[in-house]
Structure 1
């Protein structure tokens, strides 16, 4: 109920601001549409309202039982299938220009349809009142920042911001990747979309853009085998613990027409960045330093779109962190799993616009991309000798499909993919379809 009330408040505020701006325009006696017809430029509203969303369906030709990778269960669950409908991300963006270089940006995200709960009287259980979860999912404030722009080369942003490490974190809109779901490698080993409360200094000059960030460190309590350090972002508490502070950066280059090349990275300690504490001398010098380096690129020209990424991460003290987590209370937020010292993700996708060869459709700016994608990732790429290496955490993935853009901001997607695991496991093929949008509703 709190989430619904907040959403209504957010939308009401947006509508009020938009109505105020519209009223101001009407009061001036200038009709925006008539201005455009007269060759004049309509004044832009200070309010920016937009967002993106995805609705998808998958038919998966493999079992979703959590024991499917263990021993004799591999053969037991072979040939099983399951299907899923989902709303992976629905996001509302609200921004405002205060003037004098001051702007605000915010995003509220509903993952997997958001959450719902209700209190009901259970007639089958003696008329008792019970609180029930009616819809699983998450509601999160993904961005909330205030920015001061001094010039294009220098902007200061403070608040809850995106950590632009890796290609997907910086370019995560559904119109910025071909697959029905976000690229699987980065979406497995890194927080995605990664957002933290901190400070960002960024700017762009000529063909270069840079960004430097200072943010809270990750929490090693919530690291795990399947998603490496992903769970350590954010916070399960009402606040983010800041015992450790981390740094991140991103540099983009646009020197070649149609091509963007980017490098990004992250460095910070993760141990003891939690509510739990230990006086044991065994963990006295443990830091749990997380170091991530990434390269990604995107080429969009001559009716081709080609994108790629390579990410490599290292965690120091992985053995002691795994040992510490395994001994935590069963009621703790820790997964209590062994975590690897190194993780890797690499991906490449390419698509060609078939409608570019059909004059009538090309003139209407409709696009139909035939694409292919390859991923390799392993959340346990390197492990300490004392930690079990779960071989199913590493895999290759091949996908092929289409993206149809009837207009610029809407895309219909379809793909066939197969996860290729090591020989002792079953491969994981699937067919997925989806529809998505990404755009702004005000100007």
Structure 2
């Protein structure tokens, strides 16, 4: 064998040995770490409204709204939900985006409480809202800590806000006249499923903005949505307890407490004093205007029966000082600037019975004739200096029927009769048809 052939053979044998060694090392090496399983859940719901009214929109006239015959159609809301979780680490992220009134943009609104002025409403022309965006960590078998944006645990709409959760064509009017509709804020939330069927919720969140408080809507327009940033100089605490040990029955109570003056767009509700330091924003401190809200609630879904009920009371301290300052706010802030009451009261309840089996419909169908009562007084027992205007006491009687197919598709029809707090005001009648889905 020649020298060159021998050299070639040795090189070939060396290459084979090297490949064999590399292959053996690769087989003995531990496999690369696998990514933990990620769970994804997609949900959502939608609601369309068709309404007929026999009255005009202006309730501020001496005799109440005028007689009229008008209709309104509304793409009320489309909500998309996404949940992503890492069960191995006890982590879950939840996001909920709501499209209201068909999209985004600006529109004109005719505001009768402001003497019939036209106002530009950017958010009412249609809006996209992030109502929930939080990260939750399981701390134990029954304890969860969340941080981000979530629903405030007050009232019934924090739990039952989908169109399949309530029988009426609209969410209860009493609750949404007093506090924000499906109220969401940012902060920390701790939930504990305690023994004996008790579910406890505690929240530390940003407070409301008192520039939005008014006679007509009490504190509901204090929800911070007018600016890019959420002011949290004044925080609020929420505590809620629900009893869930009885099949199909949930009842409980909640409490909310937090100041409202330091979340105003400008530091304009401050105490006056002599020799104030001009280099300090509020050298003598702020006027305190804490808000307290208490409620008791009930939900029943047992056999063919469905029912819900709520009693909610609220108190605003130093409401007169808030009202005096709000009366001098700029028109550009887009608030009502009417005096806010010291107290507010909301009551509502609905009761329905499933007649689907009685009319020959199968298990996939539910048909609930129902009755509902809403009562809201946004000037409940006000201070002596504030005229107790009866137009802000509203009672709504509703009868209707709600049909659901497999708990997903829904169609509802109802008739409501609204009376204000004095016989001097003309009653108002409304017929509504709604349709939607929840999945």
State the shift of 1:70 in Å.
Answer: 2.3
TM-score, L = length of structure 1:
0.81
Match of 1:293 in 2: 294
Larger radius of gyration, structure 1 or 2?
Answer: 2
Which of 40, 51, 58 is the equivalent residue of 1:58? 51
TM-score by length of 2: 0.81
Aligned counterparts of 1:151 and 1:285: Cα–Cα separation in 2: 41
1:247, CA displacement in angstroms? 0.3
CA gap 1:389/1:437 in 2 versus in 1, 3 angstroms: same
| Greater helix content | 1
Structure 1 residues 43-99: Cα deviation after superposition (integer angstroms, max 9, x where no partner):
x9711111111001010111113xx4222xx37x53212211112221000110123
Give 4+ residue runs of structure 1 displaced > 4 Å after superposition.
Answer: 282-285
Structure 1 residue aligned with 2:257:
267
User: 1:252 corresponds to which residue?
Assistant: 242
Is 1:208 equivalent to 2:208 in the alignment? no
Q: 1:433–1:258: structure 2 CA closer, same or farther, 3 Å change rule? A: same
Change (3 A) 1:233 1:112: same
Name the structure 2 match of 1:20: none
Contact 1:338/1:388 (<8 A) preserved:
no
Aligned residue-pair number: 376
Structure 1 residues 75-154: aligned runs within 5 Å: 78-99=66-87, 100-116=89-105, 136-154=125-143
Q: What is the aligned counterpart of 2:60 among 69, 74, 78?
A: 69
The one-character-per-residue Cα deviations of 1:162-183 (angstroms, maximum 9, x if unpaired) are: 1020012221111111111100
Question: Paired residue for 2:272?
Answer: 281
Cα distance in 2, alignment partners of residues 134 and 260 from structure 1: 35
Contact 1:152–1:203 (CA<8 Å) still a contact in 2?
Answer: no
Q: Contact 1:395–1:419 at 8 Å: present in 2 too?
A: yes
Q: Spell out the pairing of 1:381-396 with structure 2 (5 A cutoff).
A: 381-396=380-395
144, 148, 172: which one aligns with 1:155: 144
- SS of the aligned residue for 2:67 comes to coil
Q: Residue by residue, what CA displacement relative to the aligned partner does 1:137-186 show, whole Å, maximum 9, x if unpaired?
A: 12111010001012232110000111020012221111111111100000
User: Which residue of 219, 234, 243 maps to 2:233?
Assistant: 243
Per-residue deviation, 1:203: 2.1
Structure 2 CA distance for aligned equivalents of residues 179 and 328 of structure 1: 37
8 A contact 1:288–1:316 mirrored in 2: yes
Matches within 5 A, 1:354-373: 354-358=355-359, 361-362=361-362, 364-373=363-372
Q: Deviations over 1:345-367 (max 9, x none)?
A: 11111100001335x523x3211
| Aligned residue number for residue 419 of structure 2 | 420
